[in-house]
Amino acid sequence: MLFRWLLNKCFPRTAGAPAVAPAPTPAASVARPSAPVFTPKQWAMPAALEGFARREAFELPADALQALTERVAHLPRPPQDGQRFLSEDFLQRATATQLAEAILQHPHVAARLLAQVNAPLYGLSRPVSDVSSAIVFLGLDTVRTVAVQCLLEDALRPADARLRPLFDRWWRSSSLAGQLCLQLGRYVGVSDPGGMVTLAVLSFVGHMAALSLREPADTLRDGALDFLERTRAEQEALGLCAGELGCLMMAQWQMPAAIVEQVRAIDRVLVMPPREMTPEQGLRTALTYYCARVAERFVSGQWDRVEQAMIGELEGAEFYHLQTHFMRQPRLAQLAADFQTPEWQASFDALLQRARA
């Protein structure tokens, strides 16, 4: 498939790198230039982070939590018949036929899917005009992500026109984060990279929803803050930061508790490493957090060079735990070493350029 060819061109599998999972018939390995050995950067915890405690919903006083839950309950939500796209069971087990049937019940989702498959990126000689063919071409992981994004966009786009550029920023960040998760997840060999994509997209739910819960002027002012300071401002204004608000909303939508907790763990990387996670869970969580924060930096215009996203060279409080703890994970350490080669940087830059086109 062309999609697989593009992936291999962008991130070629190489000798010594973890095998993509699942890989029933691994492709022949290609020799790569030796990458420098990566040593996790050791630096003192930033003072702003050391003095910050990220509050979770259960830590709020009961009356404050009830009041916030009621506010969240009044926000629009995805249509009932579309919430199957947010179901863990459906996302993991739906066949291409079942997915096509579900998408056709939402014409705007079908239209978005066909627009994506016919984008210049894929260079098709003939346009794809039906949903089933689009699913076969793009793959289930990409299609699920398109469906989830469409439903979230419809539900969470703010009515206040002043906030729409900021909403679009979050929406585009979620899209880029998902693409990064899919390709980097495959590259380092995580289990179920498609599930990582969905979690990355869902991790932006609270950021989108918070736009409708605060005064527009305050939201616009804080939109320029870095992730730590924005988290602090949201928590001071609403009682919970955007990440926790998203989890509160998803619980209201009756999403499986396991998914909600996995989404919560992503933004929690800001303040602590996942000490109680298995190595595989820690790897998935760390990589998803990295993809989300990098996507946000590029989409917002804070970064414009691939060198700024190099694992091992990251700066700022939001990356402290990622580098000093998570990068001791062997597969992430290898990714950090690969990142230091010009060839890998060029491939990553090509991915960013295509995703932002």
pLDDT tens for each residue of 158-201: 889 999 999 999 988 998 998 899 889 988 999 888 888 889 99
255 in Cβ contact with 148 (< 8 Å): no
152 in Cβ contact with 175 (< 8 Å): no
Give the tens place of pLDDT for each residue, 245-285. Answer: 999 988 888 777 888 999 999 999 999 876 778 889 999 99
Give the tens place of pLDDT for each residue, 42-53. Answer: 778 899 998 899
The Cα 25–Cα 69 span in angstroms is: 49
Sign of CA dihedral 89, 90, 92, 94: positive
Q: In the prediction, which pLDDT does 357 show?
A: 61
- The domains found in the chain, sorted by start residue, are 58-77+161-356 (1.10.3210)
The Cα 328–Cα 120 span in angstroms is: 39
How many Cα atoms sit within 13 Å of 318 on the Cβ side?
A: 19
The Cα 294–Cα 31 span in angstroms is: 28
Least reliable range by pLDDT among 25-29, 136-140, 145-149, 253-257: 25-29
| pLDDT exceeds cutoff 60 at 239 | yes
The Cα 278–Cα 273 span in angstroms is: 12
